[in-house]
Homo-oligomer: A and B are copies of this chain.
Amino acid sequence: MAFKIGLLGLGTVGTGTAQILQQPAGRHPMVQEIVIHKVGVRSLDKPRSISLPPEVLTTDLAGIVTDPAIDIVVEVLGGLEPARSLILQAIAHSKHVVTANKAVISRYGDEIFTAANQAGVYVLLEGAVGGGIPVIQPLKQSLGVNQIRSITGIVNGTTNYILTKMQTTGGSFTDILSEAQQLGYAEADPTADVDGLDAADKIAILASLAFGGRIKLQDIHCEGIRQVSAADIAYAEKLGFVIKLLGVAKRDSEVTVDTPEEEILQVRVHPTLVPQVHPLANISDVYNAILVEGEPIGQVMFFGPGAGSGPTASAVVSDLVNIAAVLKTGGGQEGMHPLLSCTHQHYCAIAPISELVTRFYTRFLTQDHPGVIGSLGTCFGKYNVSLESIVQTGFQGDLAEIVVVTHDVREGNFRQALEQIRTLDAVNSIPSILRVL
């Protein structure tokens, strides 16, 4: 039995996908049953590292998603359009879809999965989060029997590389970013990575799977790593922490029997002080890791390469094999496979960031006067912000540098206290505000 695929895009991931399918030896026997029928590219003449029969290559992408011979469309174009429209067209033509496109899924997942359910086709996306790390399938097929409490992930390799290098070399964000751009670990326009947008796409997808509801991307509080300084990394280390850009999705309360879907989630992306003994603290360079906590499983973590041709292609082909396996065994004759399809319809309620209860690390530059620490402490106290420590760590020029670490406090209260602190004559600036895991 052979399943014919149409591959949209022959860039890094598309090439990796074709390479696995062309060399099935030593892999699961199902890989042999997947046949590349058409590959849609922008230019037929571009030199490529892979050889495909000339009749397979085409620039007619719309022709692929409507081709009656094709069973599964693989979208590895990236970007929003034409990816979204081609996916929807493929679904409308009763084709299953495999995609590694986190941006399309996090923005248009609602539209895409509604269409897929109506058409009775599968849309799988293992490659969209964590590159090759199997995390989407385990969430859908294994961990879903747990009441998931939280998902905490290092899901962007570029920022993890930058933060790791800042930590090991003491370099500044700007210098390390340029270096990462030269090495190809960061894009010429690094916005999506360093401002946390890519991580937000991914945590939206993970939260949706873990908590069984759709997530509005605009509800996710998102901060990037531009404001993380070498000084913060050094202080964090002294305090027993490393700074990581985390995507966090968390159930705010216990699950209740009657209304599990009415609970409120926290979903956020921000640089975070992670205790050095925490499993995520040791994830370095471009690696990704996703930590899932649930009842009764406790903590499990998935670690691996978060991007790249080979790893992402591994994820794409595993999705292809999963769809092929269901089709081959006659699955779907009595309805969609409930662990492969997307069944949830409602939107999750997400708490505003002001309601978050967490610890904070904050660095102040102040005049070097007696009584400054006292007036900071008084302001925090007024807004019910309980402090763990307040330490003058040194000087920057004429200014005293003071680092404050709070206990668990409500973010809204903390921000109000900071507003008042900003008005104090003795306070020059507040260069860093970071949350603590």
Contacts and interface: CB of A to CB of B under 8 A. Distances in A.
A329 B332 contact: yes
Contact of A329 (B299, B309, B331): B331
Contact of A296 (B28, B133, B309): B309
A192 to B, nearest CB: 23
A53 interface: no
Interface stretch (A41-49, A137-145, A157-165, A170-178): A137-145
Interface in A320-362: 321-322, 325-326, 328-339, 343
A80 interface: no
Contact of A143 (B296, B318, B326): B318
Given A137-B142, A300-B302, A325 B311 contact: no
A63 interface: no
Interface in A246-272: 255-257, 260
9 contacts: A19-B296, A29-B343, A30-B144, A142-B314, A144-B318, A301-B301, A302-B302, A325-B337, A330-B334
A300 B295 contact: no
A177 to B, nearest CB: 24
A219 B343 CA distance: 46
A322 B141 contact: yes
B30 A339 contact: yes
Contacts of A256: 25
A305 interface: yes
Nearest to A302: B302
A145 B321 contact: yes
Given A295-B310, A321-B144, A330 B328 contact: no
A303 interface: yes
B297 A304 contact: yes
A313 interface: yes
Given A137-B142, A298-B310, A328-B334, 16 more contacts: A19-B296, A25-B260, A26-B147, A30-B339, A31-B145, A132-B300, A134-B142, A145-B314, A279-B282, A294-B314, A296-B311, A297-B305, A299-B304, A326-B331, A329-B332, A333-B333
Contacts of A145: 20, 27-28, 31, 314, 317-318, 321
A146 interface: yes
A126 interface: yes
A156 to B, nearest CB: 17
Nearest to A263: B26
Contacts of A294: 314
Chain A: interface residue count, which band? Answer: 35 or more
A315 interface: yes
Interface of A: 16, 19-20, 23, 25-31, 126, 132-134, 137-138, 141-148, 212, 255-257, 260, 279, 282, 294-305, 308-311, 313-315, 317-318, 321-322, 325-326, 328-339, 343
Contact of A301 (B260, B304, B314, B331): B304
A105 to B, nearest CB: 18
Given A134-B300, A298-B132, A147 B27 contact: yes
A146 B126 CA distance: 15
A313 to B, nearest CB: 6
Contact of A338 (B20, B303, B308, B329): B329
Contacts of A142: 126, 134, 137, 314-315, 318
Nearest to A324: B338
Nearest to A315: B142
A145 to B, nearest CB: 4
Nearest to A319: B142
Contacts of A325: 337-339
A16 B301 contact: no
